[in-house]
């Protein structure tokens, strides 16, 4: 029990001095009471908040801010969905229409949708809701850049589209006089005349005596001049642009050089029987976007020989 101290007080009624003893409150008692009061207050607030399901003021502010950011992130994600849909439409139209018309290969999806390098690029954002948005923005930015470059390529070709008609292989490689050649093997599968088994024939064979002039079927650039003992033998390849190439094989003489620009009707050389052949003939191929196509679709063998002769140049002796 706390010790008190005496206090003397005058009693006005009896005019005597009364002695009173005051109880002194110890410091630890004050601390105990204060702590107990604080605990009771916090318990009261906890019970009040819990029963009313309300957050503390600071928690409520943070929760509201978090909800606002989540809403913004959802809105950004929806906007990115719309941008991506538009970009997909442009990419498909580019591959199937624009690039196809001008003979350009499609851009592989692995290139269009490849990510950005650097494993630590998103390290600071890892595990946050913002990480996915930043990744999508970076990927869309790269896809837009690739698409922009593709449109640049198409635009360059579009400026020269007027020349496209002269570049596409569109005439026979030999004079159409039927007395000078015989169509010995069309495009498609056949029994190989030398190997003796069924094999895809990637061109057309014009059987004719050695020495017949061979003409470029469209404007282009000579990209290959070869003299081989087997296979195509002595042969020439011309790149016409717009996805087209032609090959003229089993020649006896070549009259052009590597890198030379040629026009439709220029003489490339003379027919022969070089390489793997069973007889003298011209093997003629048309390639479009790296695939063999039927040359018969690109020529008219019924053109009068006089009209054909007027289109081509005579070979130099």
Spatial separation of the C-alpha atoms in residues 208 and 172, rounded to whole Å: 14
Q: What percent of the chain has pLDDT over 70?
A: 81
Spatial separation of the C-alpha atoms in residues 93 and 62, rounded to whole Å: 47
**H-helix or E-strand spanning residue 46:** helix 27-52
Instruction: Give the residue with greater pLDDT, 231 vs 50.
Output: 231
Residue with tokens 């717009």: 242
Q: How high is the pLDDT of residue 2?
A: 47
Spatial separation of the C-alpha atoms in residues 295 and 299, rounded to whole Å: 7
Q: Is-contact 284 299, C-beta < 8 A?
A: no
**Residues in a beta bridge with 219:** none
Helix 129-159 vs helix 57-93: angle between axes, to the nearest 10 degrees? 20
Q: Is-contact 271 233, C-beta < 8 A?
A: no
SS3 128: coil
Average pLDDT over residues 167-186: 94
Q: Is the confidence at residue 236, as pLDDT, over 90?
A: yes
Q: Is-contact 234 252, C-beta < 8 A?
A: yes
Q: Which of 19, 21, 18, 20 is CA-nearest to residue 3?
A: 21
Q: Is-contact 58 49, C-beta < 8 A?
A: no
- Give the pLDDT confidence of 3-30 residue by residue, as tens digits: 556 666 666 666 666 666 655 556 666 6
- Count the neighbouring beta carbons within 10 Å of the beta carbon of residue 225: 17
Which tokens belong to 180?
């000078």
Average pLDDT over residues 178-199: 79
What's the mean pLDDT when you consider all of the chain? Answer: 83
Most confident region among 175-189, 192-206, 252-266 by mean pLDDT: 252-266
- Give the pLDDT confidence of 72-103 residue by residue, as tens digits: 888 888 888 888 888 888 888 888 777 877 77
Query: 169-311 has which CATH code?
Result: 2.70.70.10
Spatial separation of the C-alpha atoms in residues 274 and 228, rounded to whole Å: 8
Q: Is the confidence at residue 210, as pLDDT, over 90?
A: yes
CA 309 → CA 89, 259, 305, distances in Å?
A: 48, 26, 6
Q: How high is the pLDDT of residue 129?
A: 73
Instruction: Give the residue with greater pLDDT, 317 vs 290.
Output: 290
Name residues whose C-beta falls within 8 Å of residue 263's C-beta, 6 or more positions apart in sequence.
166, 216, 219
Q: Is the confidence at residue 221, as pLDDT, over 80?
A: yes
Show me where the domains of the chain are located.
Answer: 4-52, 58-159, 169-311
Q: Is-contact 2 24, C-beta < 8 A?
A: yes
Q: Is-contact 212 284, C-beta < 8 A?
A: no
Confidence of residue 115 (pLDDT cuts 50, 70, 90): low
Average pLDDT over residues 206-229: 96
Confidence of residue 167 (pLDDT cuts 50, 70, 90): very high
Confidence of residue 65 (pLDDT cuts 50, 70, 90): confident
> In terms of DSSP H, where are the helices of 53-128?
57-93, 99-101, 109-112
Which tokens belong to 273?
């029987």
Confidence of residue 1 (pLDDT cuts 50, 70, 90): very low
């Amino acid at each position: 029990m706390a010790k008190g101290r005496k206090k003397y007080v005058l009693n006005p009624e009896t005019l005597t001095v009364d002695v009173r003893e005051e109880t002194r409150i110890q410091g630890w008692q004050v601390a105990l009471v204060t702590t107990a009061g604080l605990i009771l207050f916090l318990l009261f607030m906890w019970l009040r908040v819990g029963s009313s399901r309300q957050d503390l003021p600071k928690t409520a502010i943070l929760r509201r801010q978090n909800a606002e950011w989540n809403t913004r992130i959802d809105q950004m994600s929806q906007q990115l969905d719309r941008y991506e849909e538009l970009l997909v439409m442009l990419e498909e139209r580019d591959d199937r229409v624009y690039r196809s018309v001008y003979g350009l290969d499609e851009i592989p999806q692995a290139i269009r949708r490849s990510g950005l390098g650097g494993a630590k690029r998103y390290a600071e954002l890892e595990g946050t809701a913002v990480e996915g948005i930043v990744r999508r923005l970076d990927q869309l930015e790269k896809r837009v850049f690739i698409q922009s470059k593709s449109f640049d390529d198409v635009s360059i070709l579009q400026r020269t589209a007027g020349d496209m008609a002269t570049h596409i292989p569109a005439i026979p490689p030999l004079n159409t006089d039927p007395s000078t050649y015989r169509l010995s093997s069309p495009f498609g599968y056949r029994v190989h005349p030398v190997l003796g088994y069924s094999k895809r024939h990637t061109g057309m064979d014009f059987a004719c005596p050695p020495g017949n002039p061979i003409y470029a079927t469209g404007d282009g650039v000579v990209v290959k001049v070869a003299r081989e003992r087997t296979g195509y033998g002595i042969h020439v390849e011309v790149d016409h642009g717009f996805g087209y190439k032609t090959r003229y094989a089993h020649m006896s003489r070549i009259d052009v050089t590597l890198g030379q620009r040629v026009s439709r009707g220029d003489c490339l050389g003379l027919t022969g029987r070089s390489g793997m052949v069973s007889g003298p003939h011209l093997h003629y191929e048309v390639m479009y976007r790296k695939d063999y196509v039927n040359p018969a679709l690109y020529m008219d063998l019924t053109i009068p020989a006089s009209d054909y002769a007027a289109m081509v140049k005579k070979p130099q002796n």
